Chain A
Amino acid sequence: MRDLVSEMARRITVNGLQIARNGTALLDVPHLTLSGPGPTLILGPNGAGKSLLLRCLHGLIAPDKGSVEQDGVPLNADHKARQAMVFQQPVLLRRSVAANLDFVLKRQGLQRVARKTRIADLLAQGGLEGKARQAARSLSGGEAQRLAILRALALDPDTLFLDEPTSALDPGATQVIERMILRASEGGVRIVMVTHDIGQARRLASDVVMMQGGHVVEHGDARQVLDDPKSDASRRYLSGGLVT
């Protein structure tokens, strides 16, 4: 029953979403429903509007027109408090690794002892044991992104948005991050992730949103969209053709 309730609470609906700058439409999504259960991957070329859509879903950018709803209710502070986001370039506080996690746990109202235990758990989860006291900004790219994901998970989110978290990482570091994402998904966190890596979409996605030129050109089951795309734009992108 609890699963059903949380599943319901994670249904994200977009209606008539529009963003334009200087007369150019950057995002135009008449309707989109993300209902899960597994990771949703938003796929498309650069400038397709993927990151912009993700920011609208998380409430970081207010659209010119249209709405984002969660479970039929317009996105509000309560929803946002149960969401987290990881950015392409991890934004880490200029503090130690442990202090980055402590920052969000303290905001959650956890007491010192509970925070300490939780930090140790999280560091072990991300393979960052032994780095607790190291300056976060001196971590390698892969470690920094792992810490950013751990910090997001420290919020106990029901939805985790990720904006191309592995675009600057080598295959080894990417694999570690993908494992973390899948583990979070299996643990019940709703994953909505932007990528332009088709292979990554195949490895992670349960459903795929294909975007091009600010529009959603296709949305459906991952296997169907990736193996048998219905739109020309999807076909061109997936076949490796140059799509702008």
Chain B
Amino acid sequence: MQGFASEFNTAFTLILNGDPELWAIVLLSLKVSVFAVLISALIGMPVGAALAVARFPGRRVLIILMNALMGFPPVVVGLLVYLMLSRSGPLGVLELLYTPTAMIIAQVVLVTPIVAALTRQVVEMLAEEYSEQLRSLGVSRLASVPVLLWDARLALVTALLAGFGRAIAEVGAVIIVGGNINHVTRVMTTTIALETSKGNLALALALGAILIGIAIAVNAMVSTLSLRAEREGLRHA
């Protein structure tokens, strides 16, 4: 029990003293996940909005597929990205395996369906409400997309935060494609897994505390945004 308490003590000392190794890992994790979410936003938002507004055969199937991809097991995503990036894979020449870029790619694959599916949901609801008014104003279906995206902005930020939450907390995919290489691809979750198995609980606990802190901060932002949306009458449902 005493050993447990001392691990906690060491963990908080690491955080408070600004241990360079610990903060380098935190920074890399944030960089990878922020990049991944930004790229996911660039892909997921237009795709989600297009699925909400456009009408074409097979649209329903695409929506079901996209929703199913939201629950795709991260380890499998890691495996698929690994196969694509491995030396004999179609993107092997790029030599991206075991780099932060590979981890960003894996997280993009994980987060894009979440962003696209949530965007589709929010934009479709808004499109239903705006449909007659926008048509009356002579706004075409295509031209309505930026209008809808802008008016759904608060809900979309919430979707991005949800995507960020998944990306930063994910371990299975990034450990496969990143390789957990010290000072190169070691992020918070993979370090926690490794250090725990090595018995170095202090570093694992310190990173765990920071990860929980980030999760709480992200959720607090989501709640604040929802409250603001409600107060300003910007809610969609």
A→B interface (CB under 8 Å): 55, 58, 60, 77, 80-81, 83-85, 87, 91, 93-95, 103-104, 107, 135-138, 155
Please tell me if the beta carbons of B232 and A91 are within 8 angstroms of each other in the complex. no
Minimum CB distance partner of B232 in chain A: A135
Complexed CA–CA distance, A77 and B232 (Å): 35
Please tell me if the beta carbons of A107 and B138 are within 8 angstroms of each other in the complex. yes
Minimum CB distance partner of B137 in chain A: A104
Closest chain A CB from B166 CB (angstroms): 26
Closest chain A CB from B153 CB (angstroms): 8
Closest chain B CB from A80 CB (angstroms): 6
Q: Is B13 interfacial (CB-CB < 8 Å)?
A: no
Please tell me if the beta carbons of B138 and A94 are within 8 angstroms of each other in the complex. no
Among B135, B147, B234, contact of A60 (Cβ-Cβ < 8 Å): B135
Collect the chain A residues with CB atoms within 8 Å of residue B135's CB.
Answer: 60
Among B136, B151, B152, contact of A85 (Cβ-Cβ < 8 Å): B136
**Considering only CB atoms and an 8 Å cut-off, how many residues of chain B contact the other chain?**
17
Minimum CB distance partner of A85 in chain B: B136
Residues of chain B in range 112-146 having any CB-CB distance to chain A below 8 Å: 129-130, 132-133, 135-139
Among B133, B138, B231, B233, contact of A91 (Cβ-Cβ < 8 Å): B133
Among A87, A94, A135, A155, contact of B132 (Cβ-Cβ < 8 Å): A87
Complexed CA–CA distance, A81 and B135 (Å): 11
Please tell me if the beta carbons of B132 and A137 are within 8 angstroms of each other in the complex. no
Q: What are 15 of the A-B contact pairs (CB < 8 Å)?
A: A58-B136, A60-B135, A60-B136, A77-B138, A80-B138, A85-B136, A87-B132, A87-B133, A93-B130, A93-B151, A94-B152, A94-B233, A107-B137, A107-B139, A138-B232
